[in-house]
Amino acid sequence: MSTFDIELVGKVGSMALINQYRDDMDYNIISMLGKELKPGYVWITSGAAEIGRLDYIKRTGKELNSGNLEMDKIDYAAQGQSIIMTEYRRFISPKYGIRQILVEHQHFNDEAKRDHLKNVLIRCAQQGTIPIINYNDPVSDEEVRKLEIRNLKKDHRTVVECVDNDETASQIACILKPKILLILTSVDGIYTKLNDESSLVKEIAGKDVYETINSVEYYQNFANGASRKGAHGARAKLEYIKKPVMNGTTVYIANSKYKISDIITGKAPSTKICTR
């Protein structure tokens, strides 16, 4: 019988936090999420760069135009981080502390750093606080990161790159072994037909972990498309969650418009991935 370190690791995607009709943060989503977050949950949030971009435009009337898109993203992310944390603090119950934790690929590729990160996150649960995690874009240079990854690959068979927060969330789940890994996005789950809501896959499961992983790989054949430019899409999500599933974690891929509690109790639609 599996034992778990914590209750839930959750992640919300960039586009799931944005109201595209208003070009602004979706405060209703942040409010709903914040009201359900509690100690024992570890939360990975995307959106810093896009929210920072929208905030910069609101304040200056224009976008950054340095000629270097990577540099602009870094500057937007630095501006967006404080906004995201302010809004989570606004809506999470005042009886709980929150802690911002910024991670980079190096924290997952070094055993000592992995252990340190795990201990930090376990203490959050023990001390009645909620960790809010994001990738540390403001101090992360893409070329330096690529060089470090190449060097790591010379000595390791597998290397964590943290290409997006889906991978980050799955790696956190590997470190902590949560009962549930929740991936929130802008759609209801995994579909067998693009833009066809009736083709939602409600469950991917097997009688043992090997059969479950085979089922995941089967549905990867249908999982195409991404919510935004630069995102790696549904196929990558299914790839990242394989190891947590092998560790006994139940995974839900669902829409951020639904309550966390409704997703994990089956009241809201989702794709549930587990070993029966």
Domains (range + CATH), the chain = 6-46+97-275 (3.40.1160.10)
C-beta separation of 165 from 135 below 8 A: yes
Query: How far from chain centre, in Å, is Cα 118?
Result: 17
At 158 the three-state DSSP class reads coil
The whole-angstrom separation of Cα 49 and Cα 80 is: 6
Strand 250-255 and strand 178-185: the pairing is: parallel
Q: How far is CA 104 from CA 39, 161, 252, in A?
A: 23, 9, 24
pLDDT score, position 148: 56
pLDDT score, position 115: 95
pLDDT score, position 214: 97
Pick from 162, 164, 45, 43: nearest CA to 104: 162
Write down the pTM of the prediction: 0.89
pLDDT score, position 23: 86
> What is the DSSP secondary structure assignment for residue 199, as one 8-state letter?
G
Pick from 24, 140, 162: nearest CA to 71: 140
Listed as ranges, residues in the chain with pLDDT below 70 are 1-2, 140-157, 160-163, 224-232
pLDDT score, position 228: 41
pLDDT score, position 230: 41
C-beta separation of 256 from 29 below 8 A: yes
pLDDT score, position 5: 92
